[in-house]
Amino acid sequence: MILAGGEGTRLTVLSEKRAKPAVPFAGKFRIIDFTISNCVNSGLYTVGVLTQYRPHSLNEHIGIGKPWDLDRQHGGLRLLQPYQGRGEQDWYAGTADAILQNLNYLSDNNADTALILSGDHIYKMDYGPMLDFHQRKGADLTIAVMPVPIEEAHRFGIMESNADDEIVQFHEKPEQPTSNLASMGIYVFNARVLEQRLREKGADGPRSDFGKDVVPAMLAAGDRVFSYPFTGYWVDVGTVDAYWKTSLELLQPDPALDLYTDNWPISTLSEERPPAKFGPQSQVVQSMVSNGCEVHGLVKNSIFSPGVYVSPGAVVQDSIIMNDSWIGPGAHLERVIIDKQVIVGFGAQVGSAASASPPPNALFADKLDTGHTVIGKGAFIPDGARIGTNVIVNSDSGEEDFPPDFVVEDGQTV
């Protein structure tokens, strides 16, 4: 069961018109491709994907699961969307509530074990050893864990385990964490116990979230709850900075994440596009350029999704450009994330190298303060515009939305 209905507000305009798991990543992929591919590569072929927020892009991408060999008569992939029934709630009220409303999917498949996954992380993991661990321990719940920097621990469910890996304490996003052992949002449940705990009502009402409600309730009830240590590559790309860093790390000579290894392939819905074209004036240095792109300028340390056009004289550096965006002649982009179908006008200057202390975005200081500029889907950047760092340009913004001089200072929003 893949939870893929998240809004992903920390990604600002990148998740304004799509669910976070549908955000493009590494050129031709989407974030959810990694979780689905992990399932198939682990030999799991009965997969339910729970969607809710802005599901259209995600639904179109996943379809019936054909790119992952999940278009099957028995098992296969099934999209599980909220519905309204007589006397029943319609919208999912949290991660646990989403599973509660789809318990029939488990019973219809005669499941004795349920693997609950997040659809918005970048990682490769064979779930087989974790399932074996769960069975060997006779666990009611097993949580995949890995250490995180202590200064990041407040963003995660944090736990303490004994020598037998049994969890003795768990705190969801603690203000002052005492441990750095973090939940990865990967759960293996005994299906019978899962149903029992989800149907129970807590002291404060329904149990809607796994970390906040279900895990503490199971510990209080004396259920057998274990931590499964994971030592591989795993990243939560839930912030603009994490998304940008994780993406550009792929351009290093020996990246920690190998996208194209044969023994653990990451599959996706491929776009039928011609090979990329490079004009006589083009220079491409340590970059990832997808099919359908056409480059006539200078591209350094950047990632292009399919269909990006870079005009002569344009410079794109340390940036991520998504599908079918057009970069005009003489434009200069640095540390910019551009969503789909954006037009950057002639001679526009967007973003810059990170200064020592760029002012955070005035409206979203907690989401954009690391020196990036984010341009929403379908935006139009006027000719000659000057756009600073920590700037957000909202989706579908046009020339009329900019200041008269087309200058957007650091930390502003258009």
Listing DSSP states for 319-378 in one string gives: -EE-TT-EE-TT-EEESEEE-TT-EE-TT-EE--S--SSPPPPSS-TTT--SS-EEE-TT
Residues 6+ apart with CB under 8 A from 282: 295, 296, 297, 298, 299, 310
Give CA–CA dist 355/317, Å, rounded.
Answer: 15
Q: What is the arithmetic mean of pLDDT over 105-123?
A: 96
Q: What's the mean pLDDT when you consider all of the chain?
A: 93
Q: What pTM did the predictor assign?
A: 0.94
Specify the pLDDT at position 388.
96
Q: Is the pLDDT at 318 greater than 90, yes or no?
A: yes
What are 403-414's pLDDT values in tens digits? 999 999 999 999
Q: Where are the domains of the chain?
A: 2-249, 277-408
Specify the pLDDT at position 204.
65
Q: Do domains 2-249 and 277-408 have the same CATH topology?
A: no
Percent of the chain with pLDDT over 90: 84
Specify the pLDDT at position 86.
44
What are 79-113's pLDDT values in tens digits? 998 765 545 556 788 899 999 999 999 999 999 99
Q: Does residue 119 contact residue 21 with C-beta atoms inside 8 Å?
A: yes
Specify the pLDDT at position 321.
98
Specify the pLDDT at position 111.
96
Alpha helical stretches, state H, 72-126: 95-100, 103-108
Domain 277-408 sits in which CATH superfamily?
Answer: Hexapeptide repeat proteins (2.160.10.10)
Q: What is the arithmetic mean of pLDDT over 213-239?
A: 94
The neighbouring-strand residues paired with 80 are 50
Q: What is the arithmetic mean of pLDDT over 295-307?
A: 98
Give CA–CA dist 328/354, Å, rounded.
Answer: 23
Q: What is the arithmetic mean of pLDDT over 140-148?
A: 96
> Alpha-carbon torsion 44, 48, 50, 54, what sign?
positive
Q: What is the arithmetic mean of pLDDT over 330-351?
A: 98
Q: What is the arithmetic mean of pLDDT over 330-335?
A: 98
Residues 6+ apart with CB under 8 A from 284: 278, 295, 299
* Lowest-confidence segment of 77-81, 277-281, 318-322 by average pLDDT: 77-81
Which has more pLDDT, 205 or 303? 303
Give CA–CA dist 224/136, Å, rounded.
Answer: 12
Q: Where residue 355 falls among pLDDT bands split at 50, 70, 90? A: low
Quickly tell me which residue has 């890995």 as its tokens. Answer: 146
Q: Is the pLDDT at 65 greater than 80, yes or no?
A: yes
Specify the pLDDT at position 43.
97
Q: Where residue 290 falls among pLDDT bands split at 50, 70, 90? A: very high
Q: What is the arithmetic mean of pLDDT over 38-47?
A: 97
Give CA–CA dist 349/407, Å, rounded.
Answer: 10
CATH number among 3.90.550.10, 3.40.710.10, 3.20.20.140, 3.60.21.10, domain 2-249: 3.90.550.10
Specify the pLDDT at position 202.
67
